[in-house]
Amino acid sequence: MRQIESSTCFGGRQIRYRHDSETLNCTMSFGVYLPPAAEKNKVPFLIWLSGLTGRDNTFPFLAGAQRYAAERGIAIVTPDTSPRGEGVPDDPDGAYDFGLSAGFYLNATELPWQKNYHMYDYVVDEFSTLIVNELPIDSARQSIFGHSMGGHGAITIALKNPGRFRSVSAMAPICNPMDCPWGVKAFNNYLGPDRATWRQYDATKLVATSEERLPLLIDQGDEDEFLEEQLGLDELQSALSEYDYPATVRMRGGYDHGYYFVASFIGEHIDFHANYL
């Protein structure tokens, strides 16, 4: 774990690290915001998962989250969205919705993706172990949130790991990837054609088998250009209702899918998690 960047920010430190990942068979970078409180004690932390085209430094640059994290005394860690480096396969056509920057937070089983694309294991196991061992953060107080593909990752990881997180939230998440073009393309390539194997990474399906009822918050812009075709929010809401899973879902008038939307409500999401951390 090698520090490659560090800047003072709202009295704390925004830091970027690099490390060699055995899970992904490549070198990975990730970001950490440590609030001023981390200088004296271990602090609770949030894992942020970014969406398609994002990297480990996308959220720190664009979301404006550090101010709220500093006020609340919460660290934010931001892993990358896919494996990187020479030899890591990418979409052969260079499309943005698959391959590099589009790991979908799953464990690929199909060639040539299975060597590197194990973002689920990376986030849940290797990355989480690394940061808890090396940073002044409290493993007993963690929550997870994300945007778009990262919202999909946050909800599915939370649902698949009962007892680990205090809360979960998402902004414009891909809620039903089994039945949207982004998800079908990714799942078919990473996991193969057997749709039964896809269910383990679809939030709408996982609600039915969830062993706990984590506090869940979702914000969605009503002018999001991907809402109807890609995100599947209605399907997730139907599943939440059917299986009596309490959640707060807020439709935000006038907002689209981008980081102006994220920045507008990131403070409210950090406050939401702070109530449980």
Note if 152 is an active site residue: no
Note if 118 is an active site residue: no
- Residue showing tokens 């499309």: 95
Is residue 224 within 8 A of residue 109, CB to CB? The reply is: no
The active-site residue, picked from 148, 169, 202, 269, is 148
**Residue 211 and residue 178: Cα distance in Å, rounded?**
22
**Residue 131 and residue 160: Cα distance in Å, rounded?**
20
For every residue of 29-98, DSSP letters joined together read EEEEEE-GGGGTS-EEEEEEE--TT--TTHHHHHS--HHHHHHHT-EEEEE-SS--STT----TT--TTS
Classify residue 257 by burial, with Cβ atoms within 10 Å: 0-12, 13-18, 19+.
Answer: buried
Note if 97 is an active site residue: no
**Residue 20 and residue 78: Cα distance in Å, rounded?**
16
The active-site residue, picked from 118, 147, 257, 273, is 257
Is residue 262 within 8 A of residue 48, CB to CB? The reply is: no
Q: Which amino acid is present at 44? A: P
**Residue 35 and residue 54: Cα distance in Å, rounded?**
23
The active-site residue, picked from 80, 202, 219, 224, is 224
190, 195, 225, 252 from 256: Cα distances, Å: 29, 30, 7, 9
**Cα-Cα end-to-end distance for the chain:** 26
What residues are annotated to the active site? 148, 224, 257
